[in-house]
Structure 1
Amino acid sequence: MTGGRKISFRRFGATQDGSIAVEFALIFPVALIFFMGLLAYGIYFGAAHSVQQLAADAARASVGGLDDAERASIARAHVSASGGAYPLLNLDRISVFAASLGADPSQFEVRVAFDSADLPIWVLSGLVPLPSKTIERAAVVKRGGY
């Protein structure tokens, strides 16, 4: 004898006990990856915006130079002096290139590159597709004094 109790499959299909747990188990990993991606890209875009602002500020500061060497020196000094004001940037990982624009020598270009390998977002690189670790932005200004 089996004990006399039969399982009714109609009653089993009609009940919804535990369905929330199943939905949570299916949705949670996708939602977690989505929110981690939002966090990672938010930090990355914040760092990229900081690099762009640093390049633009250095280019504006370099307008006061009399020649290309002085302009480049002013741009580098500005990045060294104000780069620490950006919390996502590490001054040791910033490089500056400043020279006259090859296509138009009446314009001066300041290019700032930042190696973002220290940012915490790279822990998620296997989980979320992320852009390049080197963030490079440039700003061009017209030479003054004309």
Structure 2
Amino acid sequence: MTASLRLPRNARKPARPLVDEERGAAIVEMALVLPLLLALMMGVLVYGQYFMLAHSVQQAANDGARAAIVGLDATDRRAVATRAVGRSLQTVSGAHSVAVSETSEAITVAVTFTAPEDGFLRSSLIPSPTPVIRARATFELPVD
């Protein structure tokens, strides 16, 4: 009589499907990658806003210097430049100051913009750029 080789009943059960193991691996991978992805996205948003604000401040300084050359005297040019900068930055929230300096050959308009305290630019999640943005523009005065 030959002895039959039989496997125990529990040995015949198929192994757990690989799908369950892959799902667990995906959760672990996501737990490792998600914080990096979120930090990267926050960096894109914060620095994107910073570059947009820096461009707006530079454009406001350009507008102020361009407008100032039509003034009749130094006081008038200063007032015209300040109004032009204010118009350019009216859609941007934050405080700004304007300094106008003049020589016999050129007018320089310097704009300092400070981002608001509660702004997205002052995020504590990633290293943020400075909240103070400075720009200047110089235009030559017409020679008489």
TM-score by length of 1: 0.77
Is 2:54 the partner of 1:52? no
Q: Please list the CA deviations of residues 12-62 of structure 1 after superposition, one character each: whole Å capped at 9, or x if unmatched.
A: 9x8534111111000000000000110011111111111111110010000
Question: Unaligned 5+ residue runs, structure 2?
Answer: 1-9
Q: Please list the CA deviations of residues 81-131 of structure 1 after superposition, one character each: whole Å capped at 9, or x if unmatched.
A: 3431x3x333xx110000125xxx411100011111342221x23x21111
Identity score, percent: 34
Map 1:1-146 → 2, pairs under 5 A: 15-84=21-90, 86=91, 88-90=92-94, 93-100=95-102, 105-118=104-117, 119-122=119-122, 124-125=123-124, 127-146=125-144
What letter corresponds to residue 127 of structure 2 in structure 1?
P
Contact kept? 1:64, 1:144, Cα under 8 Å: no
Structure with bigger gyration radius: 2
Contact kept? 2:112, 2:135, Cα under 8 Å: yes
CA RMSD of aligned residues (A): 2.3
TM-score by length of 2: 0.78
Give distance in 2, aligned partners of 1:79 and 1:96: 8
What letter corresponds to residue 109 of structure 1 in structure 2?
T
1:74–1:145 CA distance, 2 compared to 1 (3 A): farther
Give distance in 1, aligned partners of 2:108 and 2:67: 12
Give distance in 2, aligned partners of 1:24 and 1:132: 32
Contact kept? 1:62, 1:72, Cα under 8 Å: yes
Higher helix share: 1
The alignment covers a number of residue pairs equal to 128
Contact kept? 1:98, 1:110, Cα under 8 Å: yes
